[in-house]
Amino acid sequence: MSAAMNLRMAELVRRSGVSRETIHYYLREGLLPRPQKTARNTALYGEEHVQRLTLIRSLRDEHLLSLKAIKGLLADQTQLSFTPDQLATLARLRRHKLGNQTADADNSLRTEQLADELALSDAELAELRAGHFLSADDNEIADQDEAETLRLWALLRNAGLTPARGFSPRDMAYINQAADLLFQQEVTFFQQRLHNLSEKETDALLHTVIPAINRLVSLRHERKIAALLESYATASDAAAHATPSESSEEPHHG
């Protein structure tokens, strides 16, 4: 990093308006460059950290992007700013998301209320937060995606994926890993081939392309699961009709 790093954490917090705990979280998640360590528990930061934190706040608060989406955007972003065309696309994404949230506003509940409605335990909520499926506190309103995540987990649990059988929300970590991999591939794919999208093209991306990709992923997943279940059924059927071996037969006495 070429710029001088001479800011202590307290100054970085003051300059950026982001809390110490959040900065440490962003560092762990790879959203910020590593600081310059000066001692075991001391580090120095630079203007790049201030600018990056300002950008993350803008993308979260003004454009309503999730941290996962921000991380994907910043992974290939060599500059700490976006072109006018990119900002216009982000603005259209924001309007699209705001529209979805407004349409669902009548069904919004505080996380605690929704958890009670779905009979989710404190342990389940803690694991969902640890797995980055839920960020809202108990007294905060869960956004549309998080509310649906809670309902889907309750559906899975009620369908038989119960603690008694060894299942818990932490088992969904592989879903996050798969989504992260897919998202990183899509970011690379779209950035390399789609530039300066018009409003009509952005709408097509939101309402046609992304749902189509999601459906393709779902179809491939369903086919793989169906093939696996079919192999289980075939093996079970073969075992049921197998001829007992001579070693398992009753001994013959002459």
Question: Model confidence over 171-215: pLDDT tens digits?
Answer: 888 888 888 888 878 777 776 676 667 777 777 777 787 788 888
In a domain, 209, yes or no: no
Instruction: Give the CATH number for residue 1.
Output: 1.10.1660.10
pTM recorded for the entire structure = 0.49
Residue 10 inside a domain? The answer is yes
In the predicted model, what is the mean pLDDT of residues 97-110? 53
pLDDT tier for residue 7 given thresholds of 50, 70 and 90: very high
Range of the domain at 52: 1-61
Taken in order 182, 184, 188, 193, the sign of the CA dihedral is: positive
Q: Is 221 exposed, middle or buried (0-12, 13-18, 19+ CB in 10 A)?
A: exposed
User: What mean pLDDT comes out for the span 73-100?
Assistant: 57
CB neighbour list of residue 47: distance below 8 Å, 6 or more residues apart: 3, 7
- pLDDT at res. 2: 47
Residue 57 counted as domain residue: yes
Instruction: Say if residue 124 is in the same domain as residue 182.
Output: yes
Q: For residue 110, is it within any domain?
A: yes
Q: Which of 235, 231, 179 is nearest to 210 (CA)?
A: 179
pLDDT band at 229 (very low <50, low <70, confident <90, very high): confident
Domain boundary among 197, 217, 240: 197
Tens digit of pLDDT for each residue in 119-145? 888 889 889 888 888 876 777 777 777
Q: What is the mean pLDDT of the chain?
A: 77
In a domain, 85, yes or no: no
Domain boundary among 43, 61, 79: 61
CATH assignment at residue 133: 1.10.1660
Q: Which residue has the tokens 């202590």?
A: 8
- Domain check: are 107 and 183 in the same one? yes
Query: Does residue 98 register a pLDDT over 60?
Result: no
Examine the domain organization and report whether 44 and 112 are in the same domain: no
Residue 48 and residue 120 in one domain: no
Q: Are residues 54 and 127 in the same domain?
A: no
Strand 42-46 relative to strand 5-7, pairing = antiparallel
Q: Which of 35-49, 81-95, 109-123 has the lowest mean pLDDT?
A: 81-95
